[in-house]
Structure 1
């Protein structure tokens, strides 16, 4: 057979263009491979050969604006994305990442109308992804301003992971009760105007991360986090601290109250005056109850830190629950205030099975230069302190006067073998 004819037979047999082994792979494999490409690149594979013409339509992932240099304003990509979604129909999606640039100019009437059109477009794209049974959905507004999502609850039997960045979440969007398969939610750099972040009592939501977000409901009201199925919680309170409801399955939680927290009373230098009629210390809907600690009382591993004069932890200690499952506890210097060290003492006495205590004093993370390790003596243990507590770590930048006061308090509690391990 002449060479030319033999070559044509190879093209016909593998369908991938002249002996192309990639093109000879099963459709399911190619759909998966295409899901890792930015969507424009995936669409452009249609020119490779006849076999590739429609493969992109069934790719298991869409990465729209997935690279920073490829991220454009919504109005610059809306025609492309509209046609993309129309042509692919509702083919199932494992993953959809929508990275876009949305900004609005309310001072210009024409621009404002265009922005509203862009907003409607993006919300339709999101609903299209949900209709395509997407399992992993990432929404990221690259612009510094927030993008407001539709005030409609998510409804999906297939969604398992949701990540939201630089968005504005209103009323019903954070109602995940109609997402029975949802396991992981991350919300970052966003404004949360929802009265509740909620999942059904029989829901599957296991991991919730809320970081660098502002909670905006009202001066007298708090966002309530009602997710009883949670196993892992990471929360940064950067405005009005949300109220945590019962989480009986909670295994680990990290709660950090940042310098932007608005739960600070201006009537006292300490940040908390404690008067019952103070609208700052006791907002209307708090009902004189715990804001954070009750919801965290079932945790096995817990980290509680604060960067400012917030009153939340101090006020919560008036109704301090028993942490009946808590085995490891990390606190920062916010909990170690001389002379009586009431906060530290209180939480230790309410942790009957605690095994390990770590204190980060007047330094952060990798800045720790000194590490002191010790343990409680078996004899003369202070009343109420866990008999299982046998590891105590103190990490700091330098052993100064403030750190020395904490160490003296620990020694008074019969800490032994306190040695420098740095």
Structure 2
């Protein structure tokens, strides 16, 4: 067999796999509509893909019933979004497999966004998520939203290949921990949001030093640090949305004793504090650059001069 014949054979096999996957998703409905004329066929691929970019991936694939042109167009989508709720009748294992299958068929060399939300339990799917992160790296994804719903005991740890990435612009992590062995290098990152993460002073320092273009930093219900020391020159907006209370945190202390949680952010101009902090008294230090402050938590301390300055700016 010649090289050309071999190439054509491989392409044919790939098309057969794609068609089989589409058939599995919406079956005979596609064939019934193939014979009907449609206005969608007049639209350009660029416009069709722009429309698809706002859909969940399961809905994107189903659009193949609308037009012949849409049948496999979804494989060229630049935004991939997958959601599975605990209330869903769909088995989570089936959901995981559908993501794996979709990523295999994804054609673009570069993606704008990759978003996944599902209930992550006991590292059962860690190998799959690791493969997705490899995919994110290879495809130069710019916006990553990894929402792994679950408990606070362990969470998912990003693999080491993720800590050097020059493409990420926006990153949202839920129930994911950062454990960089050789620091963080995210020069293009502008927005970082972390939910339900175990932090350390070293990790926060790595974020500040390794994200030289970071403008907005958000920690929601995180834990593990005595305070937030933000020494970044670029971060201008800081949001602290609560602090997760660990059951053994106050085991050796008097029940009525309150602990301090310091916030040191010399270059931050916009600060927002909200949520539950349990037995934490927030201590604001070196926040004289603030222009806008929204403090929805009453138990905080700062020096009188700084407090007067904040009041004058309200």
Whether TM-score is above 0.5 comes out as yes
1:13-32 equivalent positions in 2, closer than 5 A: 19-32=37-50
1:203 paired to 2:190: no
User: Unaligned regions of 5+ residues in structure 1, if any?
Assistant: 1-15, 105-111, 240-257, 273-280, 282-290, 336-342, 358-388, 393-422
Cα offset, 1:144, TM superposition: 4.1
Q: CA 1:53–1:268 in 2, change beyond 3 Å: closer, same or farther?
A: closer
Partner of 1:121: 128
Q: 1:174 touches 1:196 (CA, 8 Å); kept in 2?
A: no
Which residue, out of 238, 253, 262, partners 1:292?
262
1:213 paired to 2:200: no
> How far apart are the structure 1 equivalents of 2:307 and 2:228?
27
> How far apart are the structure 2 equivalents of 1:158 and 1:71?
36
1:232 paired to 2:237: yes
| Structure with greater helix percent | 2
Q: 2:78 touches 2:113 (CA, 8 Å); kept in 1?
A: yes
Q: CA 1:201–1:130 in 2, change beyond 3 Å: closer, same or farther?
A: closer
Which residue, out of 191, 211, 234, partners 1:184?
191
Larger Cα-atom Rg: 1
Q: 1:96 touches 1:137 (CA, 8 Å); kept in 2?
A: yes
Structure 1 counterpart SS, 2:223: strand
Q: How many residues align?
A: 275
TM (normalized to structure 2)? Answer: 0.69
Q: CA 1:22–1:93 in 2, change beyond 3 Å: closer, same or farther?
A: same
Q: 2:280 touches 2:299 (CA, 8 Å); kept in 1?
A: no
Partner of 1:150: 158
TM (normalized to structure 1)? Answer: 0.54
User: Unaligned regions of 5+ residues in structure 2, if any?
Assistant: 1-33
Q: Give the superposed CA RMSD.
A: 4.0
1:63-74 equivalent positions in 2, closer than 5 A: 63-65=81-83, 74=92
> How far apart are the structure 2 equivalents of 1:95 and 1:71?
26
> How far apart are the structure 1 equivalents of 2:197 and 2:89?
19
> How far apart are the structure 1 equivalents of 2:211 and 2:82?
34
Structure 2 counterpart SS, 1:191: coil
> How far apart are the structure 2 equivalents of 1:328 and 1:143?
34
| Partner deviation per Cα, 1:149-174 (whole Å, 9 max, x = no partner) | 3341433332211111233x141189
Structure with bigger RCO (C-alpha 8 Å, 6+ apart):
2
Q: 2:236 touches 2:270 (CA, 8 Å); kept in 1?
A: no
> How far apart are the structure 2 equivalents of 1:235 and 1:122?
27
Cα offset, 1:120, TM superposition: 0.5
Q: CA 1:86–1:190 in 2, change beyond 3 Å: closer, same or farther?
A: same
Partner of 2:142: 135
Q: 1:159 touches 1:181 (CA, 8 Å); kept in 2?
A: yes
> How far apart are the structure 2 equivalents of 1:292 and 1:49?
58
Q: CA 1:32–1:66 in 2, change beyond 3 Å: closer, same or farther?
A: farther
> How far apart are the structure 1 equivalents of 2:198 and 2:78?
31
> How far apart are the structure 2 equivalents of 1:79 and 1:300?
45
1:92 paired to 2:110: yes
